[in-house]
Amino acid sequence: MTDVERLIQLLARLPGLGPRSARRAALHLLKKRETLMGPLTQALEAVSRTVRTCSVCGNIDTLDPCGICSDGKRDPAVICVLEEVGDLWALERTGSFKGRYHVLGGHLSALDGIGPEDLNIAMLVERAQQDTVKEVILATNLTIDGQTTAHYIAERLRAAGVSVTRLAHGVPVGGELDYLDDGTLTAALRARRAVES
């Protein structure tokens, strides 16, 4: 296999790129050697050199514990549990959560053979037992696997004496009822709230 073929094969393993788009990406890199291929190589090196996984929460950062875990202004009483670092970034972008996080690194999946020991759960149980922690918000995805994972964690946290909550389900902001799936609509109806006047 040539170097270019090897590059294409590796690019094709990125989510969102198939064999065809990996070929196009490789050619684009070869066309933009100075302005893209060089800087990208350096960025990858920099990231593998500097970025590590936070030993407390599973976030990625150049620091360990990460910037969020070591930020004294963030409420240590609330831990929001997420599947992936991408979910953490999504919540951080909203700017509406000021507690700490815990990244599981995936979800339980019988099909893929992913059990509790493969996820960052033991550390979460340990953290939840600390006196400072009052609430754990389970914000795993609303997929079957995500919800199974949330149920499992809720069980594990029962003994820790913390309040366990989950995100509200309902109509997304800007969502049109006509386009919503039945599950979301049913959940939104069941969780209806009094209109404040």
Binding site for a copy of itself (CB under 8 A): 2-4, 6-7, 10-11, 13-17, 21, 23-33, 36-41, 43-48, 50-51, 60, 62, 84-86, 89, 105
- Work out whether strand 75-82 and strand 52-53 pair parallel, antiparallel, or are unpaired: unpaired
29 and 37 in contact (C-beta within 8 Å)?
yes
Question: Which residues sit opposite 99 in a β-bridge?
Answer: 75
How far CA 96 is from CA of 74, 83, 88, 93, 114, in Å, comes to 12, 19, 12, 8, 31
Min dist. Cβ of residue 22 to a copy of itself (A): 8
Cβ distance to a copy of itself smaller for residue 34 or 117: 34
Min dist. Cβ of residue 33 to a copy of itself (A): 6
State phi, psi for 112 to the nearest 5 degrees: -95, 5
Min dist. Cβ of residue 24 to a copy of itself (A): 5
Alpha-carbon distance of 21 to 146, in angstroms, equals: 30
Alpha-carbon distance of 33 to 62, in angstroms, equals: 28
Question: Which residues sit opposite 81 in a β-bridge?
Answer: 102, 138
Cβ distance to a copy of itself smaller for residue 105 or 116: 105
Min dist. Cβ of residue 14 to a copy of itself (A): 4
Cβ distance to a copy of itself smaller for residue 16 or 72: 16
Cβ distance to a copy of itself smaller for residue 58 or 99: 58
Min dist. Cβ of residue 77 to a copy of itself (A): 27
Min dist. Cβ of residue 170 to a copy of itself (A): 23
Cβ distance to a copy of itself smaller for residue 49 or 190: 49
State phi, psi for 7 to the nearest 5 degrees: -60, -45
Cβ distance to a copy of itself smaller for residue 1 or 177: 1
Two structure tokens written together for 110: 């019988």
Question: Interhelix angle for 3-11 vs 19-31, to 10°?
Answer: 120
